């Protein structure tokens, strides 16, 4: 078997590189060019040389030019060793002339002088498209084939060659030549010296070489290199994306497993019968109550399809009609579904409430918690109550005295809204004689903000039998409003209603809500101060939040300091927030260096003991009242700020527009805020 040639091996390596770049196997390439995989392997190993027709097929399949298939380095680099430079001058001349004849489309332009005339070699004539020695070689004729913008550059190179290779410029240029038969060619011209004929002096020569194909090859090589870089970048990007997706899936799987453990604990600890079903409809966990309710061991339920289990347990028809719509609503649409009714789990009818609660993670539905709450005992009691209420309603029509002894508000209305009869409790609560109320529409006495809801609820009685817990406000004779909670029932053309005054309860609820809001603010304030590296920079925003949440007019902080010479205690206002319609006092000089022991000794005594100062200004001692009335304060709350157990200053709240009574709950929460401020005050400010 003959040894593979160097060219065959390099061609095979080039083919393998281009095939790999296209992500093709040897079998795939063989199928597309009509060869066997073994033949492709032999060509890539250099053991076989393809024909020109096969090379053309390679070019088409790999989407490259024919030239691209042969872009590999020369076999041997030129020898530049010192030994090669020891050849004699005559040998160099003969070698140079031999190289000139050997190179394709390399011509020599001998510049003329007084001793010789200008001459072109035959290759120069071929390059320009003339028969050899058919025209007179001149610079003017040569410039006819050169683009005009290169004329000056060619002239300067000729002058440079004639001047004997002067300093200050390179002796070579690259131009485009319009050949008569070859079209536009790229030509390299460089200056050398040599003997054109034996026995003659050294002459300046212009060596012209056609580098058109070399330029095309260089462009193709750069294109291939760019294509390879793009391929590597794309594959790297694909690999990074694949890795990112894998990591994301792993994280999501870990989170899902963690959430399933949490929901499993919730299900197992529930008093009601519960089961957790994942997104695929598989039962993940059930608790003991569920196991007892359906009479199936947990081991047989785990990993079972929930729909299949229910279909077998209840039957296909009942499952499809009563259960599947609600289960799909929760599992597929993420909407909570509830239904209740009498069902038989095999131990007699039970009234149960079934809830399908979707579970989410990052807004994605990951499963459903199924809760079955047995309400049989409650429904039995409610059924008994309904029978009792029916008996009582029958007796109420006969017992008019019930109206007179009831402490609640009783009323009978027509469905058009006119009041027919009221109980005496109306007069005690609202202050009107019943004669001023009966015969009028009830909306006349309801707060304007509550009229829309009241009308909508009253209209429901045309279709609903009962309406419970309607809350609205009725205007009393003194101009104030009383909050009343109603239960209404329609019978025929009349509406019977029982109302109870919940004004105090509503006030208590509002106070509780305000306390909760303040507690939330206190917690937020403490957390913000703990996290802040510069707590004193957070004080202005804290005062703003306190003012808005407490609906007060001014919030401020005073800081104490002692006179070094007298030892007296003074205090100065350092921060303030106020409403836009209230005059601020931060620039009031009377609130700087205030001698507390002289003007407000009661304040110093109480706040040193950790107590707050609050109340109506009109009830304060005269000396305090004069100071506070000058600031238009009607009532206030002042909470001491303690730092390291020392009375550092105080946090104050002014009511300017209307007087206000601060509750004990509000005071206690604001003391927490003051304590948080005291704990956060930097050491250098203490």
pLDDT at 100: 35
pLDDT at 106: 74
Average pLDDT for 514-532 = 75
Q: Does residue 437 surpass a pLDDT of 90? A: no
Q: Does residue 76 surpass a pLDDT of 60? A: no
Give residue-wise pLDDT tens across range 2-38.
Answer: 556 788 888 888 888 888 877 889 999 999 999 999 9
| 474 within domain boundaries | yes
Residue 514 and residue 472 share a domain: no
Residue 594 and residue 550 share a domain: yes
Output the domain CATH number for residue 468: 3.30.450.20
Residue among 518, 512, 517 nearest 669 (CA): 518
Residue 437 and residue 567 share a domain: no
Residue among 490, 313, 480 nearest 393 (CA): 490
Residue 171 and residue 40 share a domain: no
pLDDT at 85: 39
Per-residue confidence band for 522, with pLDDT thresholds at 50, 70 and 90 = confident
DSSP-derived pairing of the beta strands 466-475 and 349-361: unpaired
The whole-angstrom distance between residue 308's C-alpha and the CA centroid of its chain comes to 39
Q: How many domains does the chain have?
A: 4
pLDDT at 115: 60
pLDDT at 400: 65
| 391 within domain boundaries | no
Least confident window among 325-334, 551-560, 624-633 = 325-334
Average pLDDT for 305-311 = 84
Most confident of 418-427, 464-473, 557-566, 627-636: 627-636
Which residue spans within 437-520 are E strands per DSSP? Answer: 466-475, 481-491, 494-501
Output the domain CATH number for residue 53: 1.10.260.40
| 371 within domain boundaries | no
Per-residue confidence band for 231, with pLDDT thresholds at 50, 70 and 90 = confident
Average pLDDT for 510-533 = 75
Give residue-wise pLDDT tens across range 358-373.
Answer: 888 777 888 888 888 8
pLDDT at 572: 93
Domain endpoint, select from 501, 526, 555 = 501
Give residue-wise pLDDT tens across range 286-306.
Answer: 888 888 788 888 788 888 888
Average pLDDT for 415-427 = 84
pLDDT at 149: 92
| 390 within domain boundaries | no
pLDDT at 385: 84
Q: How many Cα atoms occupy the beta-carbon half-sphere of 314 within 13 Å? A: 17
Q: Does residue 684 surpass a pLDDT of 60? A: no
pLDDT at 638: 95
Q: Does residue 471 surpass a pLDDT of 90? A: no
Q: Rounded to an integer, what distance in angstroms lies between the CA atom of residue 410 and that of residue 426?
A: 8
Q: What is the CA radius of gyration of the chain?
A: 51
Least confident window among 113-122, 575-584, 608-617, 658-667 = 113-122
Cβ neighbors of 218 (< 8 A, separation 6 or more) are none
Residue 515 and residue 493 share a domain: no
| 79 within domain boundaries | no
pLDDT mean across residues, the chain: 81
Percent of the chain with pLDDT over 70: 89
Give residue-wise pLDDT tens across range 262-288.
Answer: 767 777 778 788 888 888 888 888 888
pLDDT at 549: 86
| 645 within domain boundaries | yes
Residue 545 and residue 587 share a domain: yes
Report yes or no: 501 and 484 within 8 Å, Cβ to Cβ.
yes
Residue 173 and residue 100 share a domain: yes
Structural domain boundaries enclosing 460:
399-501
Torsion of CA 174, 177, 181, 183, to 10 degrees: 80
pLDDT at 171: 67
| 602 within domain boundaries | yes
pLDDT at 95: 40
Of 122 and 686, which is predicted with more confidence? 122
Least confident window among 68-77, 83-92, 457-466, 479-488 = 83-92
Residue 167 and residue 202 share a domain: yes
Residue among 467, 505, 498 nearest 483 (CA): 505
Beta bridge partners of 368: 277, 358
At 309, list the tokens. 């289990």
Q: Does residue 553 surpass a pLDDT of 50? A: yes
Residue 549 and residue 439 share a domain: no
Domain endpoint, select from 485, 501, 517 = 501
Give residue-wise pLDDT tens across range 164-177.
Answer: 754 444 568 888 89
3-state class (DSSP) for residue 421: strand
Q: Rounded to an integer, what distance in angstroms lies between the CA atom of residue 672 and that of residue 686?
A: 19
| 338 within domain boundaries | no
Residue 480 and residue 431 share a domain: yes
Sign of CA dihedral 288, 294, 298, 304: negative
Torsion of CA 336, 342, 343, 345, to 10 degrees: 100
Average pLDDT for 220-242 = 81
Backbone angles phi, psi at 93, to 5 degrees: -65, -45
Output the domain CATH number for residue 516: 3.30.450.40
Residue 674 and residue 540 share a domain: yes
Domain endpoint, select from 501, 525, 544 = 501
pLDDT at 605: 93
Cβ neighbors of 365 (< 8 A, separation 6 or more) are 279, 331, 332, 334, 358, 359
Give residue-wise pLDDT tens across range 585-643.
Answer: 999 999 999 998 888 999 999 999 999 999 999 999 999 999 999 999 999 999 999 98
Residue 106 and residue 124 share a domain: yes
pLDDT at 361: 75
pLDDT at 565: 83
Per-residue confidence band for 529, with pLDDT thresholds at 50, 70 and 90 = confident
């Amino acid at each position: 078997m003959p040894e593979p040639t160097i060219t065959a091996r390099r061609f095979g390596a080039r083919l393998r590189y281009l095939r790999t770049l296209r992500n093709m196997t040897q079998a795939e390439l063989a199928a597309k060019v009509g060869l066997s995989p073994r033949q492709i392997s032999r060509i890539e190993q250099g053991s076989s040389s393809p024909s020109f027709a096969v090379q053309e097929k390679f070019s088409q399949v790999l989407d490259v030019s024919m030239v691209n298939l042969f872009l590999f380095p020369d076999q041997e680099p030129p020898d530049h060793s010192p030994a090669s430079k020891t050849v004699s001058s005559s040998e160099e001349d003969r070698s140079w002339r031999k190289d000139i004849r050997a190179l394709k489309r390399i011509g020599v332009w001998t510049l003329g002088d007084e001793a010789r005339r200008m001459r072109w070699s035959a290759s120069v004539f071929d390059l320009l498209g003339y028969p050899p020695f058919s025209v007179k070689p001149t610079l003017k004729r040569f410039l006819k084939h050169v683009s005009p913008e290169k004329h000056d550059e060619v002239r300067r190179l000729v002058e440079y060659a004639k001047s004997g290779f002067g300093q200050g410029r390179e002796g070579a240029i690259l131009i485009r030549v319009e050949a008569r038969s070859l079209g536009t060619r790229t030509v390299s011209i460089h200056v050398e010296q040599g003997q054109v004929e034996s026995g003659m002096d050294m002459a300046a020569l212009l060596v012209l070489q056609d580098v058109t194909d070399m330029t095309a090859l260089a462009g193709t090589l750069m294109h291939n290199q760019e294509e390879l870089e793009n391929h590597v970048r794309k594959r790297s990007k694909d690999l990074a994306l694949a890795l990112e997706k894998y990591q994301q899936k792993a994280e999501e799987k870990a989170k899902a497993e963690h959430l399933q453990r949490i929901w499993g604990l919730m299900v197992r600890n529930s008093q009601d019968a519960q089961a957790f079903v994942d997104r695929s409809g598989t039962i993940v966990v059930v608790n003991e109550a569920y196991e007892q309710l359906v009479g199936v061991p947990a081991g047989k339920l785990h990993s079972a399809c929930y729909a299949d289990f229910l279909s077998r347990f209840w039957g296909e028809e009942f499952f499809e009609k009563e259960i599947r719509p609600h289960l799909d609503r929760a599992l597929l649409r993420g909407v909570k579904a509830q239904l209740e009714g009498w069902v038989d789990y095999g131990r007699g009818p039970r009234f149960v409430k079934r809830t399908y609660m979707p579970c989410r993670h990052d807004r994605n539905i990951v499963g459903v918690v199924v809760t079955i709450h047995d309400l049989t005992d409650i429904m039995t009691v409610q059924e008994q109550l309904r029978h009792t209420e029916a008996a009582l309603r029958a007796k109420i029509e006969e017992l008019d005295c019930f109206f007179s002894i009831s402490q609640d508000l009783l009323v009978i209305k027509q469905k058009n809204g006119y009041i027919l009869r009221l109980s005496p409790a109306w007069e005690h609560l609202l202050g009107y004689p019943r004669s001023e109320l009966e015969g009028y529409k009830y909306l006349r006495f309801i707060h304007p903000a509550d009229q829309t809801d009241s009308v909508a609820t009253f209209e429901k009685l045309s279709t609903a039998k009962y309406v419970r817990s309607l809350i609205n406000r009725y205007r009393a004779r003194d101009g104030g409003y009383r909050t009343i909670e109603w239960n209404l029932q329609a019978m025929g053309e009349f509406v019977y209603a029982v109302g109870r005054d919940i004004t105090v309860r509503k006030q208590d609820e509002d106070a509780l809500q305000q306390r909760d809001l303040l507690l939330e603010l206190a917690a937020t304030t403490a957390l913000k101060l703990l996290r802040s590296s510069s707590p004193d920079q957070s004080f202005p925003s804290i005062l703003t939040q306190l003012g808005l949440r407490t609906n007060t007019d001014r919030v401020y902080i005073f800081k104490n300091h002692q006179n070094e010479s007298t030892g007296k205690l003074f205090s100065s206002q350092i921060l303030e927030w106020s409403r836009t319609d209230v005059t601020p006092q931060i620039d009031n000089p009377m609130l700087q260096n205030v001698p507390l022991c002289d003007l407000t000794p009661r304040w110093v005594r109480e706040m040193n003991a950790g107590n707050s100062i609050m109340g109506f200004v009109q009830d304060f001692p005269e000396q305090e009242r004069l100071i506070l009335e000058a600031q238009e304060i009607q009532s206030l709350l002042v909470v001491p700020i303690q730092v390291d157990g020392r009375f550092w200053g105080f946090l104050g709240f002014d009511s300017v527009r209307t007087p206000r009574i601060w509750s004990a709950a509000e005071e206690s929460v604001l003391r927490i805020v003051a304590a948080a401020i005291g704990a956060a005050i930097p050491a250098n400010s203490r």
